Structure 1
Amino acid sequence: MCGLCGAFGAPDHWSDGVRSGTPQAERRARADAANRVLGLYGLRLAAWADRYTLSGRTGRTAMVDHLGTLWPAAERLAGRACDPLDPAVIAALEARG
């Protein structure tokens, strides 16, 4: 995903999508989906107000405005590349069911 949207301070991100519920419920649902991958890297995303908090096992945290800025922040906290499309990640997710 491209982080260019965040570079210009765009208030909305394409990942916000069409709202089918409250903004808070939508944000929690996106965090739950992202956590399936982030957990493989020892990270956890939580909806907080109109943003997200990303935390690692060591207690380090980062504020994330939208999913477009999630993966760079995840890489900083994990200290390694976080690729949700890595074949090993996909295999691990498929094994979980």
Structure 2
Amino acid sequence: MCGLCGTLVGAEDWSGTAIGNEGATRRAARQRRVRLANQVLTHFGLRLDDWQGSAFLLSSRTGKTEMADSLLAVWRAGATICGCPLDPLDPSLIERLEALTPPPGAGA
């Protein structure tokens, strides 16, 4: 447990590894994961923020907030805040994400 904030500090979740991030620092890789997660979470009216590199803060537009210690816990917290499961296969979500993704072969 952290002596300053009282949060539990455990082993790092598998999603916290920096494999495949082309040498990015652990902090930069975590920020990238937060940005990517927010592309999905905004569809459900949620926003994810990194909290000192050790946890995530998930908030709704109305101010409901939950702390999560891993990306898996973020989805559970989102379901709690929204009152229903977050469906990553929601057709309107997939359509929105596809609109954000450049077509193959379109320069970087």
Identity fraction in percent: 40
Count of paired positions: 89
Question: Which contiguous aligned blocks of 4+ residues in structure 1 show a shift greater than 6 angstroms?
Answer: none
Partner of 2:63: 59
Q: What CA distance in whole angstroms lies between the structure 2 residues aligned with 1:24 and 1:61? A: 22
Q: What CA distance in whole angstroms lies between the structure 2 residues aligned with 1:94 and 1:65? A: 29
TM-score, normalised relative to structure 2: 0.72
Counterpart amino acid of residue 85 in structure 1: L
Greater C-alpha Rg? 2
Structure 2 gaps, min length 5: 1-8, 102-108
Q: Does the CA-based 8 Å contact 1:24-1:47 persist in structure 2?
A: no
Q: What CA distance in whole angstroms lies between the structure 1 residues aligned with 2:85 and 2:55? A: 23
Task: Output the aligned Cα RMSD.
Answer: 1.9
Partner of 2:27: 24
TM-score, normalised relative to structure 1: 0.79
Partner of 2:90: 86
